[in-house]
Amino acid sequence: MDIGITFWAMVGFCFAAYAVVGNDALQTLGTFINSNRKLPWWALFLFAATVLCVTFVIGYIQFDGDPSWGRLSNAKKYPVFEVQWYHVVPAFVLLLLTRLGVPVSTSFMVLSIFASVEGMTSMVQKSLYAYVVSFGVGLVLYAVLAPTIERYFLNTPEKAQKPFWILLQWVTTAYLWGVWLVQDFANIFVFLPRDLTPVQAFAGVGVIILFLLVTFANQGGPVQRIIRSKSNVADIRSATIIDFIYASLLAYFAYISTTPLSTTWAFLGFIAGREFSIATIDKIRSPGATARLVGMDAFKAFVGLVISVGLAVGLPRLARAIGENAEFAALFAGLGG
């Protein structure tokens, strides 16, 4: 059945869907998976898939068939292209980096090659703002929470599985997962038409759900180890607080503008601020050791940005060079046809 989507668009969409879902399990579902490891993975998957479907349907209806929740509506910043082979390469690189556990920004990696200079600049500015604000929020809040609530949690692990906290975490996870999808659906659906038919829309959602199933079956994927290296995130109560604060930050960033941002940068900023407060107050490690831990995550994210910009600038030039070579041009034309 012809669903009106080109070969390269479908390939790029699949690469992006798998990489985005796998990479961002770290940010949105990582603490949920980590603190519910005793439950069957399929139960967690069904919950996440339900939230995904509801969020998609609301956005699809509200924005007249636009699956990106309006994030790609500015054609000046995010022009509509016919997807070619070189548009797919960043999504493939993202997939590889995800398998290596690198917390790269999916927004930068995928959207950069579709964005104009103005669009790219807007994304970087908003993402830097998100990192700084999130770092400050994490630092200040956990300066209060670490010696009080977090310390209480550490001293009362037997109370972590109370029905109240279990219910609250699931509600908070739905809130976070939904808000994140509002931000990051654009990173997946950028390969498809801006206005999707119902067949295209639900076929796309089906692909995402399939990759979500794989992610849950693998307990969150390799990026999940970053979450496990942080302080006290297996406790369902701590995980709930993390998710609620992070979700509220994303909701704020979504409210102030529709410009796409790196949710990875916002997450790493928040976790960095939290880690500094907890490590300093509880003397878990020295400030220098904490700085190295946080700095390594930030460095990986920066490397991801450099790679993203390099691909966005270099790939179109490579495509033009290949286009001037008749043999290579025929090869790629054959793949796309």
Q: pLDDT for 2-56, tens place per residue?
A: 456 788 899 999 988 888 787 666 667 877 777 777 889 899 999 999 999 999 9
3-class secondary structure, 14: helix
The encoded tokens of residue 213 equal 């199933």
Number of structural domains in the chain:
1
pLDDT digits (tens, 9 = 90+) for 206-257: 999 998 998 888 776 555 555 555 545 567 888 888 889 999 999 999 888 8
Which of 248, 208, 194 lies closest to 74 in space, CA to CA?
Answer: 194
Residue listed under structure tokens 């956005």:
59
The model's pLDDT over 113-125, given as tens digits with 9 standing for 90+, comes to 888 888 888 998 9
Looking up tokens 């556990």, which residue turns up?
Answer: 101
Q: What is residue 75's three-state secondary structure?
A: coil
Is 241 inside any structural domain? yes
The set of residues, in sequence order, having a beta carbon less than 8 Å from that of 154 and lying 6+ positions away, is 232, 235
- Give residue 304's pLDDT: 74
Q: Identify whether 314 is part of a domain.
A: yes
Q: Token pair of 150, please?
A: 């977090």
Residue 1 lies in a domain: no
Is there a domain that residue 2 lies in? Answer: no
Q: Contact 281/147 with Cβ under 8 angstroms?
A: yes
Range of the domain at 276: 7-336
Residue-level pLDDT at 268: 87
Length of the chain: 337
Give the C-alpha separation, 6 to 84, whole Å.
9
Is 331 contained in some domain? yes
Residue 324 belongs to some domain of the structure: yes
- pLDDT tens-digit profile of 154-182? 888 777 778 888 889 899 999 999 999 99
In a domain? residue 59: yes
Three-state SS for 115? coil
Is 251 inside any structural domain? yes
**CB neighbour class for 324 (10 Å; exposed up to 12, middle 13-18, buried from 19):** exposed
Q: What is the pLDDT of residues 280-310, one digit of tens each?
A: 876 777 777 777 877 887 787 777 778 877 8
